[in-house]
Amino acid sequence: MSEQLVFQPSAAAIARTHVTKTQYESMYARSVSDPNGFWAEQAKRLDWVQFPTKIKNTSFAYPDVSIKWFEDGVLNVSYNCLDRHLETRGDQTAIVWEGDTPGTDGKATYRELHDRVCRFANVLKANGVKKGDRVTIYMPMVIDTAVAMLACTRIGAVHSVIFGGFSPDSIAGRVIDCGSKIILTADEGRRGGKTIALKKNVDEALAKTEGVEKVIVVKVTGNPVNMVEGRDIWYHDAVATVDADCPPEPMNAEDPLFILYTSGSTGKPKGVLHTTGGYLVYGSLTHQLSFDYRNGEVYWCTADVGWITGHTYIVYGPLANGATTLMFEGVPTYPDASRFWQVVEKHNVNIFHTAPTAIRSLMGAGSEYADKYPMPSLRLLGTVGEPINPEAWTWYRTHVGKDRCEIVDCWWQTETGGHMIAPFPGAIATKPGSATVPFFGVQPVVLSPEGRIQEQTKAEGVLAIKDSWPGQMRSIYGDHQRFVETYFTQYKGYYFTGDGCRRDEDGYYWITGRVDDVLNVSGHRLGTAEVESALVSHPKVSEAAVVGYPHDLKGQGIYCYVTLMAGEAGDDALKAELRTWVRKEIGPIATPDLIQFAPGLPKTRSGKIMRRILRKVAENDFGTLGDTSTLADPAVVNDLIENRQNR
């Protein structure tokens, strides 16, 4: 082993592991040489109405990309997450809920959850929802949100969960794109002592869209909201009149399960489409093995269900495995920076999974918050969402894990459905900052920017994947061509991840971040094009270019270069106005950190904005701008440097 620090799995982790190092190696080899045999065996972890006889039928060959797994299998996701556990663990807690306000909590056993899901499903049916219909969910972190998702899967409806931080415009765009006729929401959400006006946002979104016939509103805070006669229904009223019995709809393994919108490098967010069988096999297997989950353990992933991590690793993976999964409504720093650790001790959490941005902000608040809590129940710590700097990794291990917990850094994407590169905790030694080695069936390749495959172990380039795995997205909803163009054209024959990476001499992968125009702000994906189009929709803005720059807490900050309409003055008041504008257009996560008014942007003679230069200036690294000979007007650059905002 080489490269700085290496941590071998602890004796305790080795003693309990589902997969030893030797098993990892032989199983990985088989998953690649005999995917049909390997995944047929793994599929047995689910209960099928009809077990598949066809396992893998996939092609990455441009332009006929097609991905099918278990294609003649029949199953139901909610059955696998609920019904099949009733006999053995009906009274076990399925979901522990911890509210935003300390002292508020709740829980649902598997039996209770099953009952709630069946009733919610009947409410959906009573409101006209049928198999294949798209259902938009814009809800906070409460148990009813998981219930709503599972209720959709019970009747074969396709959910599209929208993160509660997105704006009315973002909701409208997503509702229109998937043609959803029903929205499930709540009066308000709670986060960090504040309320979020979910219903009000839905009302504003619906003022801009047609086609939504029903809005079902769950009462969460109880504050008054506007209810539109004939369209809006209180959930508690609707549920009072339905039956508790709702048989699960038998679904084909390749029937759509959900759509989740995510940012890409161009255009509007894409509706990433996942299907039923492959997603659940992959999500449950990765949940069990990456965290070495054992029956009876309490597992807590701090993500929001509005993101893929919440889908796979709060709801579907854990529940398919009969786990106890914790849902947290709040934020890491409310009421103060010890909240996470209080919750870990209160609920005896064994496995804790969060994001580097949270780790960095808690580290920044001072180690004493974590040091005060011994957290004896903890045995494993996960990190996901962005590259973790070795300093934060080490802090996490020492101050949260007390040097006794395994650290599991999981690299994956909305598109991949589940973990792709992550250490098996009792098998794989870890190195701070590396997501380590591929999961079963995942064949990473490192390509040169020109697309040459780097055969030698030690290599650097862009990360692509050679062949399909069951959790892979199947398409972009309503636009298969865009799916093919986005992921399979740049490097023919491979799935292109959009990430850069380094592979060290031990074959460990180190993800270096996006190589396309996608920002990762506090673990949230954001296309620079989205922020740019929000900016240029402001009447005073003529042109905008947005780039990322290193930010201590957020990982990346949002740096905006803005050219104003003739005669407009770029002052602090306008900066504040533009910040509010972008928040309103997209949501608070897109709020610009730095805005620089620029009389002109650096362009090539053919009119292309030279982002490389803008990135360098934003990084305050303007000494090495590289080749500027193709610039149409070199004077522009001097002005940019002189007025740079990141000093």
List residues binding ligand 6R9 (CB under 6 A). Answer: 262, 307-309, 384-387, 409-414, 435, 497-499, 511, 513-514, 520, 525
DSSP of 427-466: T--B-TT--BSBPTT--EEEE-TT--B--SSSEEEEEEES
> Is 167 annotated in some ligand binding site?
no
> Is 297 annotated in some ligand binding site?
no
Tokens of residue 622, six digits: 């303007």
> Is 192 annotated in some ligand binding site?
yes
Q: Which is nearer to ligand 6R9, 233 or 305 (CB)?
A: 305
* Nearest Cα to Cα of residue 56 among 506, 385, 408, 468: 468
Q: Which is nearer to ligand 6R9, 469 or 561 (CB)?
A: 469
Q: Which is nearer to ligand 6R9, 217 or 463 (CB)?
A: 463
Closest approach, Cβ 441 to ligand 6R9, in A, equals: 18
Cα(63)–Cα(511) distance, rounded to whole angstroms?
A: 28
Q: Which is nearer to ligand 6R9, 180 or 520 (CB)?
A: 520
| Strand residues in 139-199 grouped as ranges (E) | 158-161, 182-186, 189-191, 194-196
> Is 386 annotated in some ligand binding site?
yes
Which ranges in 179-223 belong to alpha helices (H)? 198-206
Three-class secondary structure assignment of 463-502: EEECCCCCCCCCEECCCHHHHHHHHHCCCCCCEEEEEEEE
Beta-sheet pairing, 93-98 with 214-218: unpaired
Closest approach, Cβ 418 to ligand 6R9, in A, equals: 9
Fill in the amino acid letter for 65: V
Whole-number Cα distances in Å, 87 to 22, 309, 452: 35, 28, 54
> Is 193 annotated in some ligand binding site?
yes
> Is 441 annotated in some ligand binding site?
no
Q: Which is nearer to ligand 6R9, 308 or 546 (CB)?
A: 308
Cβ–Cβ < 8 Å for 187, 199: yes
Tokens of residue 334, six digits: 């409310």
Region at 292 (left for phi over 0; alpha for psi -120 to 50; beta for the rest): left
> Is 538 annotated in some ligand binding site?
yes
> Is 379 annotated in some ligand binding site?
no
Helix axes 21-33, 35-42, angle to 10 degrees: 120
Cβ–Cβ < 8 Å for 524, 557: no
Q: Which is nearer to ligand 6R9, 493 or 513 (CB)?
A: 513
CA-based angle 271:277:283, to the nearest 5? 75
Closest approach, Cβ 174 to ligand 6R9, in A, equals: 16
**Around Cβ 122, how many Cβ atoms within 10 Å?**
21
Closest approach, Cβ 627 to ligand 6R9, in A, equals: 27
Cα(579)–Cα(344) distance, rounded to whole angstroms?
A: 36
Residues with Cβ within 8 Å of 322's Cβ and at least 6 positions away in sequence, in order, are 85, 88, 89, 92, 110, 295
Q: Which is nearer to ligand 6R9, 78 or 556 (CB)?
A: 556
Tokens of residue 95, six digits: 């979901």
> Is 214 annotated in some ligand binding site?
no
Closest approach, Cβ 262 to ligand 6R9, in A, equals: 5
Tokens of residue 273, six digits: 């489409």
Q: Which is nearer to ligand 6R9, 78 or 309 (CB)?
A: 309
Cα(495)–Cα(503) distance, rounded to whole angstroms?
A: 18
Closest approach, Cβ 517 to ligand 6R9, in A, equals: 12
Q: Which is nearer to ligand 6R9, 60 or 411 (CB)?
A: 411
Q: Which is nearer to ligand 6R9, 42 or 497 (CB)?
A: 497
Cβ–Cβ < 8 Å for 144, 235: yes
Q: Which is nearer to ligand 6R9, 113 or 437 (CB)?
A: 437
Closest approach, Cβ 15 to ligand 6R9, in A, equals: 26
Cα(379)–Cα(385) distance, rounded to whole angstroms?
A: 21
Closest approach, Cβ 372 to ligand 6R9, in A, equals: 28
> Is 499 annotated in some ligand binding site?
yes
Cβ–Cβ < 8 Å for 139, 187: no
Q: Which is nearer to ligand 6R9, 154 or 514 (CB)?
A: 514
> Is 85 annotated in some ligand binding site?
no
Closest residue by beta carbon to ligand 6R9? 414
Q: Which is nearer to ligand 6R9, 80 or 262 (CB)?
A: 262
Closest approach, Cβ 412 to ligand 6R9, in A, equals: 5
Closest approach, Cβ 6 to ligand 6R9, in A, equals: 18
Cβ–Cβ < 8 Å for 159, 148: yes
Burial 339-375 (b: 16+ CB within 10 A, else e): bbbbbbbebebbbbbbbbbbbbbbbeeeeebbeebeb
Closest approach, Cβ 416 to ligand 6R9, in A, equals: 8
> Is 89 annotated in some ligand binding site?
no
Closest approach, Cβ 463 to ligand 6R9, in A, equals: 9
First and final C-alpha spacing in the chain: 39
Closest approach, Cβ 467 to ligand 6R9, in A, equals: 19
* Nearest Cα to Cα of residue 220 among 235, 205, 241, 202: 235
Residues with Cβ within 8 Å of 62's Cβ and at least 6 positions away in sequence, in order, are 484, 488, 489, 492, 493
Which residues fall in the annotated binding site for CoA?
A: 191-194, 309, 522, 583
Which residues fall in the annotated binding site for Mg(2+)?
A: 536, 538, 541
Which residues fall in the annotated binding site for ATP?
A: 385-387, 499, 514, 525
Which residues fall in the annotated binding site?
A: 191-194, 309, 385-387, 499, 514, 522, 525, 536, 538, 541, 583
